[in-house]
Structure 1
Amino acid sequence: MLTKIKKDLILEGLDCANCSAKIENEVNQIEGVNAYMNFMTKTLTVETEDNKDFNNVLENIESIVKKHEPHVIVSEKIVKKPAKNTFILEGLGCANCASKMETQIKSLPGVNSASIDFVSKRLIIEAASTEDLRRIAVEAAVIVDRIESGVKLVRFDSTTKEKPKANESANKKELIQLGVGGALFAFGLIMNLPSKIELAVFLISYLIVGGEIVLRALKNIARGQVFDENFLMGIATIGAFIIGEYPEGVAVMLFYQVGELFQEMAVNRSRRSISSLMDIRPDFANLKSGDNITRVSPEDVIIGDIIVVKPGEKIPLDGTVIEGSSMVDTSALTGESVPRKLEPGTSALSGFINKNGVLTIEVTKEFAESTVSKILDLVQNASSRKAPTENFITKFARYYTPGVVFASLAIALIPPMVIQGASFSDWVYRALIFLVISCPCALVVSIPLSFFGGIGGASKRGVLVKGSNYLEALNNVETVIFDKTGTLTKGLFKVTEITPEDDNTKEDLLEYAAYAESYSNHPIATSIIRAYGKEIDKANLSDYEEISGHGIKVKLKDNLILVGNAKLMKKEDIKYSEVNSIGTIVHVALNKEYIGYIIISDEIKEDSKDAIRDLKSLGIKKIVMLTGDVKSVGEKVANHLGLDEVYSELLPTEKVENLELLDKEKSPKGKLIFVGDGINDAPVLARADIGIAMGGLGSDAAIEAADIVIMTDEPSKIATAIKVAKRTKIIVWQNIAFALGIKLLFIILGAFGIATMWEAVFADVGVAVIAVLNAMRVIKVDNI
Structure 2
Amino acid sequence: MDIRPDYANVKKGDELVKVDPDEVQIGDIIVIKAGEKIPLDGKVIEGSSMIDTSALTGESVPREVEVGSDILSGCININGVITAEVTKEFGESTVSKILDLVENASSKKSNSEQFITKFARYYTPVVVIIAVFLAIIPPLVIDGATFSDWIYRALAFLVVSCPCALVISIPLSFFGGIGGASKKGVLVKGSNYLEALAETEIVVFDKTGTLTKGVFNVQEIHPEGVSKEELLELTAHAESYSNHPISLSLKRAYSKEIDNGRISDVEEISGHGVIATVDGKKVMAGNIKLMKMMDIPYFKGELIGTIVHVAVNNKYIGYIVIADEVKEDSAQAIKELKAANIKQTVMLTGDNKSIGSKVAKELGLDKVYAELLPADKVEKLEEIFLQKSKKGKLAFVGDGINDAPVLARADIGIAMGGLGSDAAIEAADVVIMTDEPSKIATTMKISKKTLKIAHQNIVFAIGIKIIVLILSAFGITTMWAAIFADVGVTIIAVLNAFRALNVKNL
Query: TM-score range, shorter-chain basis?
Result: 0.5 to 0.7
Equivalence for 2:62:
none
Equivalence for 2:452:
730
Alpha-carbon shift at residue 716 of structure 1 (Å): 1.2
Q: Which amino acid aligns with 1:696?
A: G
- Give the alignment of 1:685-724 within 5 angstroms: 685-694=407-416, 696=418, 700=422, 702-724=424-446
2:484 paired residue among 746, 762, 775: 762
Alpha-carbon shift at residue 649 of structure 1 (Å): 4.0
Alpha-carbon shift at residue 386 of structure 1 (Å): 13
Asked if 1:584 is matched to 2:330, the reply is no
Equivalence for 2:340:
618
Say how many residue pairs are matched. Answer: 422
Equivalence for 2:184:
461
- 1:602 and 1:402 map into 2 onto residues whose CA distance is 61
C-alpha change, 1:442 and 1:15, in structure 2 (3 Å) is farther
Deviations 1:70-106 (A, max 9, x none): 98679xx9xxxxxxxxxxxxxxxxxxxxxxxxxxxxx
- 2:432 and 2:151 map into 1 onto residues whose CA distance is 57
C-alpha change, 1:39 and 1:539, in structure 2 (3 Å) is farther
More moved, 619-628 vs 725-734: 619-628
- Give the alignment of 1:75-224 within 5 angstroms: none
What SS does structure 2 have at the residue aligned with 1:681? helix
Assess if the C-alpha contact under 8 Å between 2:399 and 2:425 holds in 1.
no
- Give the alignment of 1:260-409 within 5 angstroms: 388=112, 391-409=114-132
Equivalence for 1:640:
362
Assess if the C-alpha contact under 8 Å between 2:399 and 2:424 holds in 1.
yes
- 1:393 and 1:652 map into 2 onto residues whose CA distance is 38
C-alpha change, 1:393 and 1:25, in structure 2 (3 Å) is farther
Deviations 1:510-536 (A, max 9, x none): 589959x95755xx5642575696889
- 1:73 and 1:719 map into 2 onto residues whose CA distance is 41
- 1:676 and 1:419 map into 2 onto residues whose CA distance is 69
Q: Which amino acid aligns with 2:155?
A: L
- 2:452 and 2:273 map into 1 onto residues whose CA distance is 60
What SS does structure 2 have at the residue aligned with 1:487? coil
Asked if 1:69 is matched to 2:86, the reply is yes
Equivalence for 1:416:
139
Alpha-carbon shift at residue 776 of structure 1 (Å): 0.9
Alpha-carbon shift at residue 724 of structure 1 (Å): 0.9
C-alpha change, 1:26 and 1:711, in structure 2 (3 Å) is closer
Asked if 1:27 is matched to 2:36, the reply is yes
- Give the alignment of 1:236-251 within 5 angstroms: none
What SS does structure 2 have at the residue aligned with 1:485? coil
Alpha-carbon shift at residue 472 of structure 1 (Å): 1.1
- 1:36 and 1:636 map into 2 onto residues whose CA distance is 21
Asked if 1:9 is matched to 2:14, the reply is no
Deviations 1:109-141 (A, max 9, x none): xxxxxxxxxxxxxxxxxxxxxxxxxxxxxxxxx
Equivalence for 2:205:
482
Alpha-carbon shift at residue 646 of structure 1 (Å): 2.3
Asked if 1:495 is matched to 2:211, the reply is no
Relative to the length of structure 1, the TM-score reads 0.45
Equivalence for 1:221:
none
Alpha-carbon shift at residue 418 of structure 1 (Å): 3.5
Asked if 1:750 is matched to 2:440, the reply is no
What SS does structure 2 have at the residue aligned with 1:479? strand
- 2:139 and 2:394 map into 1 onto residues whose CA distance is 58
Q: Which amino acid aligns with 1:762?
A: F
Assess if the C-alpha contact under 8 Å between 2:203 and 2:346 holds in 1.
yes
Deviations 1:466-504 (A, max 9, x none): 2222111101111112223332233342224456999xx
1:657 paired residue among 373, 379, 383: 379
Q: Which amino acid aligns with 2:213?
A: K
Alpha-carbon shift at residue 704 of structure 1 (Å): 2.7
- 1:666 and 1:418 map into 2 onto residues whose CA distance is 57
- 1:649 and 1:727 map into 2 onto residues whose CA distance is 38
C-alpha change, 1:15 and 1:731, in structure 2 (3 Å) is farther
Alpha-carbon shift at residue 607 of structure 1 (Å): 2.1
C-alpha change, 1:652 and 1:736, in structure 2 (3 Å) is same
C-alpha change, 1:7 and 1:493, in structure 2 (3 Å) is closer
- Give the alignment of 1:542-581 within 5 angstroms: 552=271, 563=287, 577-580=300-303
- 1:494 and 1:402 map into 2 onto residues whose CA distance is 66
Q: Which amino acid aligns with 2:207?
A: K
Q: Which amino acid aligns with 1:584?
A: G
Deviations 1:648-691 (A, max 9, x none): 34444433333222122112222112222344433332332222
What SS does structure 1 have at the residue aligned with 2:210? helix
C-alpha change, 1:71 and 1:668, in structure 2 (3 Å) is closer
Q: Which amino acid aligns with 2:482?
A: A
Deviations 1:369-392 (A, max 9, x none): xxxxxxxxxxxxxxxx99856x54
Assess if the C-alpha contact under 8 Å between 2:432 and 2:439 holds in 1.
yes
What SS does structure 1 have at the residue aligned with 2:198? helix
C-alpha change, 1:695 and 1:435, in structure 2 (3 Å) is closer
- 2:248 and 2:487 map into 1 onto residues whose CA distance is 64
Q: Which amino acid aligns with 1:660?
A: E
Asked if 1:740 is matched to 2:459, the reply is no
- 1:443 and 1:434 map into 2 onto residues whose CA distance is 17
Assess if the C-alpha contact under 8 Å between 2:211 and 2:327 holds in 1.
yes
C-alpha change, 1:555 and 1:714, in structure 2 (3 Å) is closer
Assess if the C-alpha contact under 8 Å between 1:478 and 1:672 holds in 2.
yes
Assess if the C-alpha contact under 8 Å between 2:213 and 2:327 holds in 1.
yes
Alpha-carbon shift at residue 426 of structure 1 (Å): 3.1
Assess if the C-alpha contact under 8 Å between 1:463 and 1:708 holds in 2.
yes
- 1:416 and 1:611 map into 2 onto residues whose CA distance is 66
Assess if the C-alpha contact under 8 Å between 1:676 and 1:693 holds in 2.
yes
C-alpha change, 1:537 and 1:530, in structure 2 (3 Å) is farther
- 1:39 and 1:617 map into 2 onto residues whose CA distance is 33
Assess if the C-alpha contact under 8 Å between 1:456 and 1:779 holds in 2.
yes
C-alpha change, 1:27 and 1:500, in structure 2 (3 Å) is farther
- 1:720 and 1:738 map into 2 onto residues whose CA distance is 27
C-alpha change, 1:587 and 1:619, in structure 2 (3 Å) is same
Q: Which amino acid aligns with 2:119?
A: F
C-alpha change, 1:699 and 1:637, in structure 2 (3 Å) is closer
1:671 paired residue among 393, 410, 414: 393
- 2:251 and 2:425 map into 1 onto residues whose CA distance is 30
- 1:672 and 1:15 map into 2 onto residues whose CA distance is 40
Instruction: Give the gaps of 5 or more residues in structure 2.
Output: 8-20, 39-50, 58-71, 96-108, 277-284
Equivalence for 2:18:
none
1:772 paired residue among 494, 500, 504: 494
Relative to the length of structure 2, the TM-score reads 0.67
Alpha-carbon shift at residue 700 of structure 1 (Å): 4.3
C-alpha change, 1:432 and 1:541, in structure 2 (3 Å) is same
Q: Which amino acid aligns with 1:401?
A: T
C-alpha change, 1:24 and 1:477, in structure 2 (3 Å) is farther
Alpha-carbon shift at residue 462 of structure 1 (Å): 0.8
- The structure with the largest helix share of the pair is 1
Q: Percent identity?
A: 55
Equivalence for 2:148:
425
C-alpha change, 1:663 and 1:436, in structure 2 (3 Å) is same
- 1:442 and 1:492 map into 2 onto residues whose CA distance is 51
- 1:632 and 1:485 map into 2 onto residues whose CA distance is 14
Q: Which amino acid aligns with 1:27?
A: E
Deviations 1:241-269 (A, max 9, x none): xxxxxxxxxxxxxxxxxxxxxxxxxxxxx
Alpha-carbon shift at residue 463 of structure 1 (Å): 0.8
- 1:37 and 1:610 map into 2 onto residues whose CA distance is 27
